[in-house]
């Protein structure tokens, strides 16, 4: 499958400018801010709205739950409706739901609007890799798609860093409105800067219909290999990042220090995502890049949680950094390979939606499994075993992915 397939020339036959690429990437970060805005605000919501810990857990998981149920559907919708239109619509829905949440004074209202945010998040992010592929220069496709893989950790880290400072000087609705305004600004920027979608018949190549695109996606090995790899990565990511503040508090790093350390670990994931795009562009085998990412997760989790480092908080912090930075090679590589894993041009966004769906499934399943093991065994010291099992499975999937790409390559 040609990497440059479907990328149009710029004005007067020239190459596309960098501006559309930048605003689409920034739009992804703005969407991910809706993930990162919530954790710093949970204690405030518990006090002001009487939210229980269980309700807070549902509020945190609703976006992932929407992705787990509707990722493929949103990919089909984006492929059919137009990539640019879908991204703008998703960002607009996120903005409106986020702004409305600031006027809500009930937990039920927040939960309902969070579900709407989940739909907007999917509409904004699932079509983005296909849109980037359309507007970026052909020689930069793999690198830029690797950068796209960093939108969640970048937005999450930004929320963890900025949120506590806004909440210290203002109310939680002000924080919600600020994030909503940022998302709305990116929707306007994409509408102004990114070229319009091609005619509908051109987008789908005159077919296939959505039923055929769905069947083609789920019956092909490529989307499954990418989706399951991302699932095993995301299950670990959400579990480790979600419980880091608890671990740091136990080590005496609470409050602002714990929040800053957690945000730093989340931001380190950007390094691996960007590096994945770079090394794939230079010809590294995808299975090598993905296997290295899973190996980094296994080593990092061992250092961060094993009883060997129980009295060495600095070593645990370094382990978390290794887990996040090196582990970032996995999403960067999977997103970079998404156009090659898709069975056809009209199924790229559908394939990304399928990957997103399994990523969300991992994020929903990972934290409860890790928490159950920790509570059953009386501590976090065996958390790294869960990571090791996931990473071994990821290495097997990486090998199968390499064989699939070799078999699918034109002779």
Span 92-147, pLDDT tens digits: 999 999 999 999 889 999 989 998 998 999 899 988 988 998 888 888 888 888 88
**Whether residue 208 has a cis bond before it, omega within 30° of 0:** yes
pLDDT band at residue 409, thresholds of 50, 70 and 90? confident
Neighbours of 80 (CB within 10 A): 17
pLDDT at position 4 over 70:
no
User: For residues 372 and 388, what is the distance between their CA atoms, to the nearest angstrom?
Assistant: 17
List Cβ neighbours of 328 (8 Å cut-off, separation of 6 or more): 149, 150, 153, 268, 269, 270, 271, 272, 273, 275, 276, 293
- 2 CA to centre of own chain: 25
∠ CA 274-275-280, nearest 5°, is: 105
pLDDT at 141: 83
Contact call for residues 403 and 231 (beta carbons, < 8 A): no
What is the percentage of the chain residues whose pLDDT exceeds 90? Answer: 38
Neighbours of 136 (CB within 10 A): 25
pLDDT band at residue 56, thresholds of 50, 70 and 90? confident
User: For residues 34 and 15, what is the distance between their CA atoms, to the nearest angstrom?
Assistant: 33
Question: CA distances (Å), 357 to each of 64, 65, 71, 314, 327, in order?
Answer: 8, 9, 4, 35, 20
**Computed from CA positions of residues 376, 242, 291, 32, in that sequence, does the dihedral angle turn out positive or negative?**
positive
pLDDT at 248: 73
Q: What domains are there in the chain, each with its CATH number?
A: 11-408 (1.20.1250.20)
Contact call for residues 379 and 250 (beta carbons, < 8 A): no
DSSP 308: G
Q: 329 is written with which tokens? A: 């090679």
Span 230-271, pLDDT tens digits: 999 998 888 887 777 667 766 677 667 777 888 889 889 989
pLDDT at position 2 over 60:
no
Residue for token pair 């998404």 = 338
- 207 CA to centre of own chain: 29
User: For residues 246 and 267, what is the distance between their CA atoms, to the nearest angstrom?
Assistant: 18
Span 72-101, pLDDT tens digits: 888 787 767 788 999 999 999 999 999 999
pLDDT at position 29 over 70:
yes
- DSSP assignment of 270-323: HHHHHHHHHHHHTT--HHHHHHHHHHHHHHHHHHHHSGGGTT-HHHHHHHHHHH
pLDDT at position 347 over 70:
yes
Among the residues of 82-171, which ranges form H helices?
Answer: 83-101, 107-125, 128-135, 141-148, 151-169
What burial letters (b/e) apply to 16-34, b meaning 16+ CB within 10 Å? beeebbebbbbbbbbbbbb
pLDDT at position 349 over 70:
yes
pLDDT band at residue 1, thresholds of 50, 70 and 90? very low
List Cβ neighbours of 282 (8 Å cut-off, separation of 6 or more): none
Beta strands in 125-249 (DSSP E): none
Half-sphere exposure for 297 (CA within 13 Å, toward CB): 37
Burial tier of 362 (Cβ tally within 10 Å: 0-12, 13-18, 19+)? buried
pLDDT at 214: 86
pLDDT at 390: 94
Choice among 188-197, 222-231, 283-292, 309-318 with the minimum mean pLDDT: 309-318
Contact call for residues 298 and 387 (beta carbons, < 8 A): yes
User: For residues 191 and 85, what is the distance between their CA atoms, to the nearest angstrom?
Assistant: 8
Query: Bigger pLDDT: 384 or 394?
Result: 394
């Amino acid at each position: 499958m040609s990497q440059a397939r479907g990328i149009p020339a710029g004005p007067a036959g020239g190459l596309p400018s960098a501006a559309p690429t930048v605003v689409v990437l920034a739009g992804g970060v703005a969407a991910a801010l809706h993930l990162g805005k919530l954790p710093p605000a949970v204690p405030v919501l518990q006090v002001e709205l009487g939210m229980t810990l269980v309700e807070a857990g549902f509020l945190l998981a609703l976006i992932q739950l929407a992705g787990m149920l509707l990722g493929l559907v949103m990919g089909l919708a984006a492929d059919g409706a137009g990539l640019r239109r879908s991204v703008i619509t998703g960002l607009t829905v996120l903005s409106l739901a986020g702004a409305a949440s600031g006027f809500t004074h009930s937990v039920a209202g927040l939960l309902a609007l969070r579900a709407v945010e989940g739909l907007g998040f999917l509409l904004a992010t699932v079509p983005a890799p296909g849109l980037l592929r359309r507007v970026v220069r052909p020689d930069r496709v793999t690198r830029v798609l690797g950068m796209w893989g960093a939108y969640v950790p970048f937005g999450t880290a930004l929320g963890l860093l900025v949120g506590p400072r806004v909440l210290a000087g203002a109310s939680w609705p002000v924080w919600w409105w600020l994030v909503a305004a940022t998302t709305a600004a990116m929707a306007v920027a994409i509408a102004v800067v990114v070229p319009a979608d091609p005619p509908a018949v051109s987008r789908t190549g005159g077919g296939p219909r959505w039923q055929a695109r769905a069947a083609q996606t789920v019956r092909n090995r490529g989307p499954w290999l990418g989706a399951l790899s991302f699932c095993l990565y995301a299950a670990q990511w959400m579990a480790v990042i979600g419980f880091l503040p608890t671990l740091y508090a136990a080590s005496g790093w609470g409050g602002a220090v714990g929040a800053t350390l957690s945000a730093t670990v989340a931001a380190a994931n950007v390094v691996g995502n960007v590096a994945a795009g770079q090394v794939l562009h230079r010809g590294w085998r995808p299975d090598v890049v993905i296997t290295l990412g899973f190996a980094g997760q296994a080593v990092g989790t061992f250092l961060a949680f094993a009883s060997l480092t129980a009295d060495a908080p600095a070593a645990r912090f370094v382990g978390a950094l290794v887990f996040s930075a090196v582990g970032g090679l996995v999403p960067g590589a999977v997103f970079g390979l998404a156009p090659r894993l898709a069975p056809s041009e009209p199924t790229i966004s559908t394939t990304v939606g399928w990957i997103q769906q399994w990523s969300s499934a991992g994020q929903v399943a990972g934290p409860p499994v890790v928490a159950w093991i920790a509570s059953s065994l009386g501590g976090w010291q065996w958390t790294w075993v869960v990571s090791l099992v996931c990473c071994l499975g990821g290495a097997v999937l990486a090998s199968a992915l390499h064989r699939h790409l070799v078999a699918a390559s034109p002779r």
